[in-house]
Amino acid sequence: MLKSSALKSLFVQLDEWPRAFRSVETSGGLKNAQPLIEKALKKQIDRLHFAVDDTGFDRHELRIVVKQTRYLTEAFPKLSPLSPKATSSLKALQSALGSWHDHYQWCQKVLIESDLRPFEKVWRGCAETALHKAEAQLVDLAKLLPKTSDKKSWSK
């Protein structure tokens, strides 16, 4: 069990953070944060556009971009340009890509742990099914995304 004073302090600060954040927000202390949040959302959605529009984009990286976009949008729903339907689509796509990634990783384990070989065929089938589902959801999401800022490249 962890008993360090730094850890105790961290937990106290984490418990206090929502109250402190609301206090700063209600006193108007976050007015300067709104443009920064909106800029971060726009940049993240541009990254998502780039990933969605590139058919060769690595699906694991896509999963990460989708996850980051979803969590940022859910953290600041009033500031996000994504519609509720697009946000819901992000969640479904993240789930399908997560299922694909899990099964893919399990198939990689088969290469190391031979006792898992009996599961390989089922896992590969599940991975394929999840990836097909994700690809269909990707098409749906592309239709729901707001216009991009026309940036031609993406950087982390």
Q: Is residue 27 one of the residues assigned to a domain?
A: yes
Q: Identify the CATH number of the domain in which residue 100 sits.
A: 1.20.1440
Instruction: Give yes or no for residue 155 having a pLDDT over 60.
Output: no
Look at residue 151 in the predicted model and tell me its pLDDT. Answer: 55
Instruction: Give yes or no for residue 21 having a pLDDT over 90.
Output: no
Residue 28 pLDDT class (50, 70, 90 cuts): confident
Instruction: Give yes or no for residue 150 having a pLDDT over 60.
Output: no
The residue among 105, 5, 93, 80 whose CA lies nearest residue 52 is 93
Q: Is residue 63 one of the residues assigned to a domain?
A: yes
Instruction: Give yes or no for residue 156 having a pLDDT over 70.
Output: no
Q: Which two tokens stand for residue 54?
A: 């590139």
Look at residue 39 in the predicted model and tell me its pLDDT. Answer: 92
Residue 84 pLDDT class (50, 70, 90 cuts): very high
Q: Is residue 4 one of the residues assigned to a domain?
A: no
Q: Is residue 39 one of the residues assigned to a domain?
A: yes
Report the 10 Å Cβ neighbour count for 2: 7
Asked whether 80 and 144 are in contact (CB, 8 A), the reply is no
Displacement of CA 23 from its chain's centroid (Å): 28
Q: Is residue 26 one of the residues assigned to a domain?
A: yes
Q: What is the DSSP letter of 82?
A: S
Over residues 91-140, the pLDDT tens digits come to: 999 999 999 999 999 999 999 999 999 999 999 999 999 999 999 999 99
The residue among 17, 145, 40 whose CA lies nearest residue 86 is 145
Cβ neighbors of 77 (< 8 A, separation 6 or more) are 87
Q: Is residue 2 one of the residues assigned to a domain?
A: no
Look at residue 2 in the predicted model and tell me its pLDDT. Answer: 64
Q: Is residue 3 one of the residues assigned to a domain?
A: no
Look at residue 115 in the predicted model and tell me its pLDDT. Answer: 96
| Cα 20 to Cα 33: distance, rounded to the nearest angstrom | 15
* Residue range(s) defining the domain that contains residue 43: 9-144
Q: Is residue 150 one of the residues assigned to a domain?
A: no
Q: How many structural domains are present in the chain?
A: 1
